[in-house]
Amino acid sequence: MKGWDKITLGEICLKYGGKVQTGPFGSQLHEYDYKDVGIPVIMPKDISGNTVNIDNIAKISIEKANSLSKHKVKEGDIVFPRRGEITKRAYIRKNQIGFICGTGCLKISIDSSHVASEYLNYFLSKSDTIEWLIGNSVGATMKNLSGRLLRNCLSTYHLSQPSVKSPPSSPPMMT
């Protein structure tokens, strides 16, 4: 389509403010940190249907969550599992603000004043994107997703400057 530019997720993050970040390493979050009551920690098992299922979600103390503040999610963030079912994702909603992106996950945060996270979530749900993620992930038995791979995603899509702020009324054409 005329007037559209190719752009990757990494370029969107650099140009408009955002990041793709891995959850905390095992040395930052131990088994003994988990509590019966506290701040929810999003694990791959908790991601389904584009949301976070809190039925059996692990929790950590407020103090521990504060020490992991860079892993806290905000409304509009998108969380992916790093291994296994790498094509599922959770779009973070208002009632999930402050949850922790867990060890087995990756978090995409975008500056919503420039890029509508709903728009980005739409692209990440497209069958072509899902096929690309599967085709470019590593691992024969269990697929693995990396921050680098996610940053390279969307390179075959065209995002127009006016449409970056709001979801399209009709899906853009793919090239």
Q: For residue 7, give every residue at least 6 positions away whose Cβ sits within 8 Å of its Cβ, in sequence order, or none.
A: 15, 154, 155, 157, 158, 159
For residue 85, the one-letter residue type is E
DSSP 29: S
State the pLDDT at residue 173.
36
User: CB of 9 within 8 A of CB of 108?
Assistant: yes
State the pLDDT at residue 175.
31
Query: Considering just the CA atoms, what is the radius of gyration of the chain in Å?
Result: 16
Tokens encoding 158:
């065209």
For residue 92, the one-letter residue type is I
Query: Mean pLDDT in runs of 10 for the chain (175 residues)?
Result: 73 92 91 96 97 97 97 98 94 98 96 88 91 91 92 64 47 37
CA distance 121 to 60: 28
Task: Return the CATH number of the domain spanning residue range 5-164.
Answer: 3.90.220.20
Tell me the whole-structure pTM to 2 decimals. Answer: 0.85
State the pLDDT at residue 2.
57
Sign of CA dihedral 139, 24, 147, 115: positive
State the pLDDT at residue 1.
53
